[in-house]
Amino acid sequence: MTKKIPDTFILGAASSAWQTEGWSGKKEQQDSYLDKWFKEEQFVWHDGQGPDVATNFMQQYQEDIDLMKEINLTHYRTSINWARFFTDYEQLVVDEAYATHMDHVIDGLIAVGVEPILCLEHYELPAYYMEQYDGWSSKKVVDWYADYAKIVFERYGDRVHQWFTFNEPIVIQTRCYLDAIRWPHEQDTKKWMLWNFHKTLASAKAIAVFKEGKFEGRIGCVLNPEMVYPRSQSKADVHAAKMYDLFFNQVFFHPMVLGEYPEELITLCQEHNIYFDPTDEELEIIKQHTCDFLGINQYYPKRVKAPRFAWNEATPFHPEMYYESFELPGRRMNRSRGWEIYPTIMYDLAMYLQENYGNIPWFISENGMGQENEEQYLNEAGIVQDDYRIEFIREHLAELLRAVEAGANCEGYMLWAFTDCVSPMNAFKNRYGLVRIEVDETRARSLKKSAYWYRNLIETRQLE
């Protein structure tokens, strides 16, 4: 069966600064919190790789832009590296060399007909703020972030017209303070919730700056809701799914789209002593500055069931008090990444957004398939035969188009990622790109089979 892809539907690809740039030209003090983790713990990432070289985008970005042109890509989403944009994080002294690099990237993209979509933070919180101000625990960091946004809009706003304040704003604090699996490994649910709030406030303040400055275009945030499926329709399992949705999805969606926190979440936060005590003025800023549009990152379903054990009052509160993760027997898996494959999430996500958040425009800002040991799929001509990726995109896109036909306000699909790139913890272990990166001193680029397939998709706008 063939599906027609509407002419206005975007087919793009995404990436981020920290995951591609490498440290070429980076000054010692310009670490992001993840660079710090890499240095601090001498963390040996997969195959000894890390952010130090990444894809060497700093030096090889023009090669990527040329490849975008080769496959006729029309939209590319990436980020600005906040940590590298300044040399002083209190006086906000701009690093002219880095800012000029961003000029070149933006101009280079536009020159070949690719629209740049920029995000202000995607793993690039300056380590300085973590060390001196406990990161997003501080309201000063919230204000510095808004000032950073203003400087960036003033510099690039003439050429960039679609902006995101954050990529997956829930993730850092969930890894660092809720699950404590990343540096600085502190379990502190109250801090987790405070960071959630301060990032929501920071996003609203950046939106305020954008609106007050009358910059051309629109601004939103990239969120990563997990579509939650209860194990059964029993009251207890359904309640577990509802609570997961409240703590991990609605916690950002409600204030960022509707301008208010769900009352139930506020009550629960107070009850469990993780309330973030906002001022009336802060709540008003959030209310007045909601997102114009959303990017949605979507990879896998989340399955939950009612928790088996009663919560022990002696342990600090964790939302897991209300749910337990559940693995569906016989589920389809991406074994490399350990994520379930369930393309229906795309349709369900669209319906979830329509039901809960009305007409806000959105597009898929990330979806994709990470694969280990891709060199085994290289053919004699040196092209990765990534049919599994083509299949993955095809299935997810089909579900998304089904939602569009049903009236979803979805404007497009961006694949993660344009090139293979490093990811926190896994480095290059899971390859996501349409473009293969040789992880050697050349960091040579080559199109995979999926890139040729994607080019054809962009040209024909027919999904077979």
Contact residues for ligand BGP (CB under 6 A)? 16, 19, 167-168, 224, 297, 337, 366, 370, 416, 423, 426, 430
Mapped to the 3 state alphabet, what secondary structure does the chain carry?
CCEECCCCCEEEEECCHHHHCCCCCCCCCCCEHHHHHHHHCCCCCHHHCCCCCCCCHHHHHHHHHHHHHHCCCCEEEEECCHHHHEEECCCCEECHHHHHHHHHHHHHHHHCCCEEEEECCCCCCEHHHHHHHCHHHCHHHHHHHHHHHHHHHHHHCCCCCEEEEEECCCHHHHHHHHCCCCCCCCCCHHHHHHHHHHHHHHHHHHHHHHHHCCCCCEEEEEECCCCEEECCCCHHHHHHHHHHHHHHHHHHHHHHHHCCCCHHHHHHHHHCCCCCCCCHHHHHHHHHCCCCEEEEECCCCEEEECCCCCCCCCCCCCHHHCCEECCCCCCCEECCCCEECCCHHHHHHHHHHHHHHCCCCEEEEECCCCECCHHHHECCCCCECCHHHHHHHHHHHHHHHHHHHCCCCEEEEEEECCECCCECCCECCCECCCEEECCCCCCCEEECHHHHHHHHHHHHCEEC
Residue nearest to ligand BGP (CB): 423
Q: CB of residue 370 vs ligand BGP: minimum separation in angstroms?
A: 5
Burial class of 342 by CB neighbour count within 10 A (0 to 12, 13 to 18, 19+): buried
* Helix 96-111 with 139-156: angle, nearest 10 deg: 50
> How far, in Å, CA of 358 to CA of 408, rounded?
10
Q: Active site includes 168?
A: yes
> How far, in Å, CA of 296 to CA of 400, rounded?
12
- Which residue, 167 or 200, has its beta carbon nearer to ligand BGP? 167
Q: CB of residue 312 vs ligand BGP: minimum separation in angstroms?
A: 31
- Which residue, 5 or 297, has its beta carbon nearer to ligand BGP? 297
Q: CB of residue 425 vs ligand BGP: minimum separation in angstroms?
A: 7
Q: Active site includes 313?
A: no
Distances 32 to 16, 28, 103, 176, 423 between C-alpha atoms, Å: 13, 11, 21, 14, 14
- Which residue, 200 or 430, has its beta carbon nearer to ligand BGP? 430
Among 226, 340, 366, 374, the active-site one is 366
**Residues in Cβ contact with 59 at an 8 Å cutoff, skipping those fewer than 6 apart:** 22, 24
Question: What are phi and psi for residue 354, nearest 5 degrees?
Answer: -60, -45
- Which residue, 250 or 297, has its beta carbon nearer to ligand BGP? 297
Among 121, 168, 226, 340, the active-site one is 168
Residue positions annotated with a catalytic role: 168, 366
